[in-house]
């Protein structure tokens, strides 16, 4: 598990990254559709697997880091053994729930900045 630096934590509105048995803070439950809305062909920047304490019990989670969002997906091992089990994982959004405002030039270069925490990233949509 890689320690996250201060800039990473600040950019994503995280007070602590936690450790092997503790989740990053803050986090809030969200609908799994929010995760699928962020899922893209660009892929996940980084990921971690942890067995953490949630609701006073140990559970398995995958932490998936995108450039503009972090999700913690809770999986129940007894439901992941079979195919077609209709189990929907519990999803949590970690850190800031970014509200981006975008500005772009006529050439397709742009910057998106979160109105809540100030995190920003650049993009090129000229293709």
Q: How far apart are CA 14 and CA 68, in angstroms?
A: 13
Q: Which two tokens mark 79?
A: 């439901």
For the chain, how many structural domains are there in total? Answer: 2
pLDDT, residue 68, reads 84
One domain for residues 105 and 86: no
Give pLDDT tens digits for 21-80: 999 999 999 998 888 888 776 778 889 999 999 888 888 999 999 888 899 999 876 655
pLDDT, residue 80, reads 52
- Measured CA to CA in angstroms, residue 114 lies from 55, 62, 69, 111 at distances of 30, 25, 11, 10
Q: Binning pLDDT at 50, 70 and 90, where does residue 1 land?
A: very low
One domain for residues 57 and 102: no
**Residue 1 forms part of a structural domain:** no
One domain for residues 110 and 55: no
Query: Helices then strands (H, E): number in the chain?
Result: 2, 8
Range of the domain at 113: 98-127
One domain for residues 81 and 107: no
Look up tokens 């304490």; give the residue.
53
pLDDT, residue 85, reads 61
Residue 81 or residue 126, greater confidence: 126
One domain for residues 50 and 80: yes
Give pLDDT tens digits for 15-38: 999 998 999 999 999 998 888 888
One domain for residues 67 and 105: no
Q: Binning pLDDT at 50, 70 and 90, where does residue 86 land?
A: low
pTM for the structure as a whole: 0.81
């Amino acid at each position: 598990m890689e320690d996250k630096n201060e800039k990473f934590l600040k950019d994503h509105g995280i007070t602590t990254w936690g450790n092997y048995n503790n989740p990053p803070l803050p986090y809030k439950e969200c609908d799994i559709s929010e995760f699928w809305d962020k899922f893209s062909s660009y892929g996940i920047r980084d990921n971690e697997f942890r067995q953490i304490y949630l609701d006073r019990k140990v559970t398995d989670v995958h932490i998936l880091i995108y450039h503009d969002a972090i999700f913690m997906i809770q999986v129940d091992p007894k439901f992941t053994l079979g195919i077609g089990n209709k189990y929907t994982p519990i999803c949590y959004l970690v850190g800031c729930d970014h509200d981006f405002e975008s500005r772009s030039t006529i050439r397709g270069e742009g910057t998106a900045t979160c109105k809540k925490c100030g995190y920003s990233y650049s993009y090129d949509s000229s293709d």
